[in-house]
Each structure stands twice: as C-alpha cells, then as structure tokens.
Structure 1
Amino acid sequence: MAWIVLVISGMLEAVWAAALSQSHGFQRRGPTVLFFVSLVLSMTGLAWAMTDLPTGTAYAVWVGIGATLTVLWGIATGQERPTLARIGLLLLLVGSVIGLKVVS
C-alpha cells in the first residue's frame, strides 16, 4: 500500500509544480488553490509512505515520478521541446525509479 500512496503522491507533485507555474506568482486564484491542495496531499502521502519505506528510496521515487511527469506536461503543453537527449534522460530516470522498486 505504501508504494501505491507514494506513486500517487509523486503524481501530485507534478500537479503542484504545474499549478505553481500557472499561478503566476500566486496571482491567479484557481491554480494557486490547486497548488496548495495538491502540495499538502503530496507531502502527506510522501510522509505516510516513509513510515513503511526507506527515506532515501521513497524520496527518490517521489521526486523521479514528479520530475518526469512535470517534464512530460511541459512537452505536452509546448513549454518544453522533446529533444532526443531529453527523452533519453527521462527514460533513464523512469528506469531508475523502477529499479528502486525492484530492489526494495
């Protein structure tokens, strides 16, 4: 169960990162509210998962999922370019996250 909560928390990390960008310095209400709600849920889930999983592994997986999804969101919305190097590095990151799950 801790792994499921951790994955969902990592996904919420991407949500709050994207919402933070869209809030334009907390000037827009909707994205600002989404940022704070997803931030609290993401951190709460990470904290809960860390009661069952090693801290380093949980944090690395959480960041890896959040970073990967945030970059993919940036590519999907046209804010970032999908270069071959970027895609390759994201695949390496995803492989590392999967590897941490396998060895845990």
Structure 2
Amino acid sequence: MPWFVLVVAGLFEVVWASLLEETKGFTRVVPTVGFVLSLAISMYLLSVATRTIPVGTGYAVWVGIGAVGAFVVGVVFRDQATNGPQVAAVLALVASIIAVKLTAAG
C-alpha cells in the first residue's frame, strides 16, 4: 500500500508541476488554487508513504514520477518540442525509477 500511495503522490506532483505555468506567476486564481491543493496533497501523500518507505527511496521515485509526468504533459498537451536524445534520456529516467523500486529494501 505505501508504494501505491507514493505513486498517487507522484501523480499529484505531475498535476502541480503542470499547473505552475498556468498560474502566470500566481496571478491567476483558479490555476493557483489547483496548484496549491495538488501540491499539498502530493506532499501529504509523500509523507504518508515515507512512514514505511525510506525517505531517500520515496523521494527519488516521487521526483522521478513528477519529472517524467511533467515532461509527458508538456509534449502531449502543450506541444513542447522534443527530440530523440531527450526522449532517450527520459526513458533512462523511467528505467532508473523502476530500478530504485526494484532494489528497495522491503
């Protein structure tokens, strides 16, 4: 269950990271509220997950999910340019996240 909670925390990180640009420097109310709420949920769930999962392991997985997810949102929904080497680097990050999970104690 802690790993599921950690993944959900990572997904909320994708939400807040993706909303950051939409806040326009925290001048737009609705995206800013969404940003703050998703950030709070993400942090809370991370804290719940790290009651069982070591903080370093949990944080690495959480950041990785957020980074990969924000990259995917940018490319798929915001038409941000990408290239082969960048995609390869993100895939390496995905492999690293999986390796962290598979090598975690417990």
TM category, shorter: over 0.9
Distance 1:63 1:72 in 2: 14
Q: Structure 1: 5+ residue runs without aligned partners?
A: none
Q: Report what 1:8 is aligned to.
A: 8
TM-score normalised by the chain length of structure 1: 0.95
Question: Structure 2 stretches of 5 or more lacking a match?
Answer: none
Kindly state the Cα deviation for residue 39 of structure 1 after the two structures are TM-superposed: 0.3
Q: CA deviation at 1:14?
A: 1.1
Q: Which position in structure 1 is the counterpart of 2:40?
A: 40
Spell out, residue by residue over 1:48-76, the C-alpha distance to the aligned partner (whole angstroms, 9 max, x if none): 11110011110000000000000111111
Pairs aligned (count) = 103
Once superposed, which parts of structure 1, at least 4 consecutive aligned residues long, lie more than 6 Å away? none
1:48-63 paired onto structure 2 within 5 Å: 48-63=48-63
| 1:1-104 correspondence runs (5 A) | 1-76=1-76, 77-78=78-79, 80-104=80-104
Q: Take 1:99 and 1:81, find their aligned partners in 2: how far apart are those partners? A: 28
Identity of aligned residues (%): 42
Residue type at the aligned position of 2:57: T
Q: Read off the aligned partner of 1:62 and give its amino acid letter.
A: W
RMSD, matched Cα: 0.8
Cα drift, residue 21 of structure 1: 1.1
Normalising by structure 2, we get a TM-score of 0.94
Q: CA deviation at 1:82?
A: 2.1
